[in-house]
Chain A
Amino acid sequence: MNHPDALLALALIGTARGPLPTPGPDALAGAAAQVTRPDPEGTLLARAALHALAHAAGRRPDPPGDQPDPAPPETLPELPARAARHLPTVIRTPLLNEWLTLCAQGGWRVPHALLPDLLDHAATSYNSHLRPLLTPVLGERGHWLARLHPDWASLSPNPDSWEATTPAGREDLWRRLREHDPQAARELLQRRLDSERADTRRRLLTALLDTLTDDDHPLEPLLDTLTTDRSADTRTQACAALHRLPRSAQNARNAARLAALFGGTPPTPDDHATRDGLPDPPGQNTPALLAHLLAHTHPDTLLTALNTTPAALTALARQHDQLQPLAQNAVTTHHTPLAAALLTELPTHPQLLQVGPPETLAAAHTQAMNDRDLERLLTLLDPHPGPWTPDLSAALLTTLHATCPTRHHAAHTHRWEQLAELAATRAHPHTLHPGPLPDDATEWAPQTMGKLQATLDLRQQLWTDFGKERG
């Protein structure tokens, strides 16, 4: 045992229980031998101090270990400082989405020093829109960094790491693949979906529904098998996907059933009734069956099968008092011609207005503003992504100004504030300020308007600094 260890051993049991160890022959032990005190405790402490200091002063670096491979060189240009300076201000605010979008639109990547804060925020944020916005702007360094950090790894999943990643990571991987190579994404689903856990399946099917196009008809066999799945969620999602694929067998069956109903012959019970989600009992000429078929058969399939026009189909639905299911159908399938026809019957249906022709929606906006109907404006504008057109933005700010709650009339204050908040992030940032509020405005109204203007100013600065034109 060397001398320091022997000293430590004695210190542990106590000098009352053993003699001081004799220093060895080496130089340091020799120096320690010179250190003596009248009592063994003092001698031990003084010698221990000598050894500890010699040890600390003589320390050498530990042998080197493996180091991570360096990050690959960047392929995108770094975001200029004048735009990057805004990130600390907008991070953890609703404006972060717009900042990230502007960054991606310009083809830039986030400067290295800002990456940790951004990744930290994204990894802890519940905002699901953030992940896809982040991917294009992280740059090589950001992806490299995310993979090295356990908390961030899910923000940059490696395509080869499907097995290792979380359900959220798999969804993210699939969404990215879907963006770059839809065919490969379809093949991945066909290969993998069966063996995934329920949670991952739900996520992947949700991602599919978010991005479904007409090109996805090859997925029909897979979706067909899922309509008899054990999980009710999966069955519903599969039926919803098949409904949105106009040439699916499910749509064809539903169209045939509907044609039979309208032809006066009630459809005969068939093997597919359950998997197609028909209401019980099937085969009866009940309004429930009619409602289901009008809501769950792709409009294109319907129009072809019944050999009719959107206007005639709308009239038919009204005859049977089934306008709402048909409207639901037009909304689900984003069918603009049918929505346009239905709007003649249901001119205020908010979702139909979103799907219908833009000029009808614009007219509805104008109408609501003329009526100063804030409740309706909120319903119409909430699903309308920004930035809004300059005309709509200017008109809305004027409406907000004109409907400002006053000390005499403050009935709609909550709606007014909600609308102002919505306008702050969605309105076109180059919208002119409508001027000072009337003198009898409530005490906090100027503050709300001030906040709205401050946000618009900041966004205007953002656009300028990102080099985005007014258009």
Chain B
Amino acid sequence: MTPTPLTADAVLALAPDAASAQAARRLAAPGNWPTLNAPASSLWGECQGSGRTPYLTGVDLSGPAPTTPAFKCSCPSRKLPCKHALALLLLHATHADSFGQAAPPQSLQTWLDGRAARAATTTPVTAAPDPAAQAKRRAAREKKVSLGLDQLQTFLKDLIRDGLAHATARPYSDWDTQAARLVDAQAPGAARLVRQIPDHLSDPAALLAHLGRLYLLTEAWPRRDTLSGAQQADLRAALGFPIDSAGVLAGSGLQARWQVMGQSVTEEDTLSTRRTWLTSGDHTALLLDFSAAGRPFPPALPPGVTLQAEVCHAPGTVPQRALLRGEATPTRPEAPPPGLTLDALLDRHGAALALNPWLERTAHLTGPLHIVPGDPWHAQDHTGRLPMSGRNPTLLALSGGHPVTLYAEWNGETLTPLSALHAGTLHPLRAVSDA
């Protein structure tokens, strides 16, 4: 069967970076492709590049979900998917009639067969972990964390004893050293918060609030045994313990229709984090992907898509971080629920903070809102207004000054719109930073 084409937006969302997306657009003209074919749930084509022999590009659409294709290309690019694979998908989205039905050449067929064979065999071949060794590693790590946080507490108290007015005079290396110690102590989450201290130096009230939050970590850790399991999970997540994927996936899941509401990427030092928010009724699931040192992310779930999927939440007082179990299959979208007022959004955020004081952000469907450009931009409804991060011309173009419903992240300071409900469909947004 010929697979239903992904929409052009969905294809471009797969791009590892903006340059690839732009290059793919340029290549997505049938004339660049002497050969284009779409045999059973795959695409392949030949693209005339700068060399004499054209590149042979293949896309496997037979995966668990057509929204997560696999790619192969004979070009030397290390990006995945490369511009040729993206262009091939784009062409399929825009010029499906230019595709023939011919079978792929041997090299591609071998790859496709190999993938099919791997998909057929079941994967769990993980060695049974040795419980004793695990407990030992765990104890060793906890000891390191204890030492690191103890030192951090002393550092924080020293800051307060000397007065924060003197903190601005400290060399940057002070903060870096302290952060590096926490990395060594295997508490990268705390290290991150320490690295953020210099951002608040110009605003004493924000600085004190930030230090207070860090201090809570150093107090909570030594008495973690008095906390509930969910609270302990919050604490571990804030300290940067990795989640126990196997444990999460072994737990109970929520089999439902999940709508991909929006995506955002933040970069800290050399690590980029991509957040994908899914909702189902009142449930929210946050999928995280990481990419280090500019390497591309794994293919994304495009916003706007609705999936039949089983979501397993990581433990915590506010169910948010989650993993997908098994296959996610696209399904008929449901009408989105009505948006929250800004007051109700803050209410929900406050309720979540009451449970987990280290929660960095929550995401909500909010609206109808008026978008007010200015410095900064604001979103406003009859309950009041909240500042937005950056500028968002696409949002303004879609709304035209009329109220609009958004899916947005709130981090306690600014509202970041991730997508807009426009004419019944979810339109992903890219914010433009003011920098």
Most buried by B among A116, A141, A447: A116
Other-chain residue from A11, A13, A67, A454 in contact with B31 (beta carbon distance below 8 A): A454
A8 touching B401 by the CB < 8 A rule? no
B108 to chain A, nearest CB (A): 22
Q: How far is the CA of A92 from the CA of B435 in the complex (A)?
A: 23
Q: What chain B residues lie within 8 Å of A141 (beta carbons)?
A: 397, 400
Q: How far is the CA of A455 from the CA of B30 in the complex (A)?
A: 9
Q: How far is the CA of A65 from the CA of B385 in the complex (A)?
A: 8
Asked if A60 is at the interface of the complex by the 8 Å CB criterion, the answer is: yes
Provide the A37-79 mask, 1 if CB < 8 A to any CB of B, else 0: 0010110111011111101111111111111111100000000
A17 touching B163 by the CB < 8 A rule? yes
B429 to chain A, nearest CB (A): 10
Other-chain residue from B165, B204, B398 in contact with A113 (beta carbon distance below 8 A): B398
Q: How many residues of A contact B (CB 8 A)?
A: 66
Asked if A85 is at the interface of the complex by the 8 Å CB criterion, the answer is: yes
B213 touching A49 by the CB < 8 A rule? yes
Q: How far is the CA of A233 from the CA of B97 in the complex (A)?
A: 57
Nearest opposing residue in chain A for B383, CB measure:
A61
Q: How far is the CA of A461 from the CA of B30 in the complex (A)?
A: 10
B352 to chain A, nearest CB (A): 9
Asked if A88 is at the interface of the complex by the 8 Å CB criterion, the answer is: yes
Asked if B317 is at the interface of the complex by the 8 Å CB criterion, the answer is: no
Q: How far is the CA of A68 from the CA of B374 in the complex (A)?
A: 10
Q: How far is the CA of A71 from the CA of B371 in the complex (A)?
A: 12
Other-chain residue from B48, B357, B373 in contact with A148 (beta carbon distance below 8 A): B373
Q: What chain A residues lie within 8 Å of B114 (beta carbons)?
A: none
Which of B58-66, B226-234, B327-335, B342-350 forms part of the interface with chain A?
B342-350
Q: What chain B residues lie within 8 Å of A44 (beta carbons)?
A: 160
Asked if A321 is at the interface of the complex by the 8 Å CB criterion, the answer is: no
B353 touching A56 by the CB < 8 A rule? yes
A48 touching B32 by the CB < 8 A rule? no
In addition to A11-B204, A65-B385, A115-B393, 13 A-B residue pairs with Cβ atoms within 8 Å of each other are: A12-B164, A13-B163, A41-B161, A45-B215, A57-B351, A62-B385, A69-B401, A71-B401, A88-B8, A145-B397, A148-B396, A454-B29, A454-B32
Asked if B259 is at the interface of the complex by the 8 Å CB criterion, the answer is: no
Q: What chain A residues lie within 8 Å of B343 (beta carbons)?
A: 60-61
Provide the B153-166 mask, 1 if CB < 8 A to any CB of A, else 0: 10011101111111
Nearest opposing residue in chain B for A49, CB measure:
B212
A48 touching B31 by the CB < 8 A rule? no
Q: What chain A residues lie within 8 Å of B34 (beta carbons)?
A: 450
Nearest opposing residue in chain B for A92, CB measure:
B22
Q: What chain B residues lie within 8 Å of A144 (beta carbons)?
A: 400-401
B372 touching A68 by the CB < 8 A rule? yes
Q: What chain B residues lie within 8 Å of A52 (beta carbons)?
A: 208-209, 212-213
Chain B, interface residues (CB within 8 Å), range: 35 or more
B317 to chain A, nearest CB (A): 14
Q: What chain A residues lie within 8 Å of B412 (beta carbons)?
A: 56, 59
Q: How far is the CA of A361 from the CA of B366 in the complex (A)?
A: 64
Asked if A300 is at the interface of the complex by the 8 Å CB criterion, the answer is: no
A453 touching B161 by the CB < 8 A rule? no
Q: What chain A residues lie within 8 Å of B204 (beta carbons)?
A: 8, 11-12
A39 touching B396 by the CB < 8 A rule? no
B53 to chain A, nearest CB (A): 12
B199 to chain A, nearest CB (A): 16
Other-chain residue from A89, A92, A116, A450 in contact with B397 (beta carbon distance below 8 A): A116
Other-chain residue from B26, B160, B380 in contact with A64 (beta carbon distance below 8 A): B380
B45 to chain A, nearest CB (A): 13
Nearest opposing residue in chain B for A114, CB measure:
B397
Asked if B25 is at the interface of the complex by the 8 Å CB criterion, the answer is: yes
Q: How far is the CA of A92 from the CA of B21 in the complex (A)?
A: 14
Q: How far is the CA of A461 from the CA of B98 in the complex (A)?
A: 11
A8-B204, A12-B164, A61-B383 are contacts. A112–B212 as well, Cβ < 8 Å?
A: no
Q: How far is the CA of A88 from the CA of B209 in the complex (A)?
A: 45
Provide the B404-435 mask, 1 if CB < 8 A to any CB of A, else 0: 00000000100000000010000100000000
Q: How far is the CA of A85 from the CA of B93 in the complex (A)?
A: 10
Within 8 A of A (CB), among B15-42: 22, 25-26, 28-32, 34
Q: How far is the CA of A263 from the CA of B228 in the complex (A)?
A: 114
Within 8 A of B (CB), among A1-55: 4, 7-8, 11-17, 39, 41-42, 44-46, 48-53, 55
Q: How far is the CA of A48 from the CA of B211 in the complex (A)?
A: 9
A259 to chain B, nearest CB (A): 60
Q: How far is the CA of A119 from the CA of B347 in the complex (A)?
A: 38
A16-B161, A67-B380, A149-B393 are contacts. A45–B212 as well, Cβ < 8 Å?
A: yes
B208 touching A8 by the CB < 8 A rule? yes
Asked if A98 is at the interface of the complex by the 8 Å CB criterion, the answer is: no
Nearest opposing residue in chain B for A149, CB measure:
B393
Q: How far is the CA of A71 from the CA of B370 in the complex (A)?
A: 12
Q: How far is the CA of A461 from the CA of B29 in the complex (A)?
A: 10
Q: How far is the CA of A451 from the CA of B34 in the complex (A)?
A: 11
Q: What chain A residues lie within 8 Å of B372 (beta carbons)?
A: 65-68
Asked if A456 is at the interface of the complex by the 8 Å CB criterion, the answer is: yes
A53 to chain B, nearest CB (A): 5
Q: What chain B residues lie within 8 Å of A229 (beta carbons)?
A: none
B161 touching A14 by the CB < 8 A rule? yes
Can you list 9 contacts pairing A with B, beta carbon distance less than 8 Å?
Answer: A11-B208, A45-B156, A45-B211, A48-B208, A48-B212, A51-B209, A92-B22, A112-B398, A454-B31
A427 to chain B, nearest CB (A): 14
Q: What chain B residues lie within 8 Å of A15 (beta carbons)?
A: 160-161
Asked if A457 is at the interface of the complex by the 8 Å CB criterion, the answer is: yes
Other-chain residue from B156, B385, B396, B427 in contact with A61 (beta carbon distance below 8 A): B385
Other-chain residue from A11, A59, A64, A112 in contact with B163 (beta carbon distance below 8 A): A11
Most buried by B among A16, A60, A119, A144: A60
B422 touching A113 by the CB < 8 A rule? yes
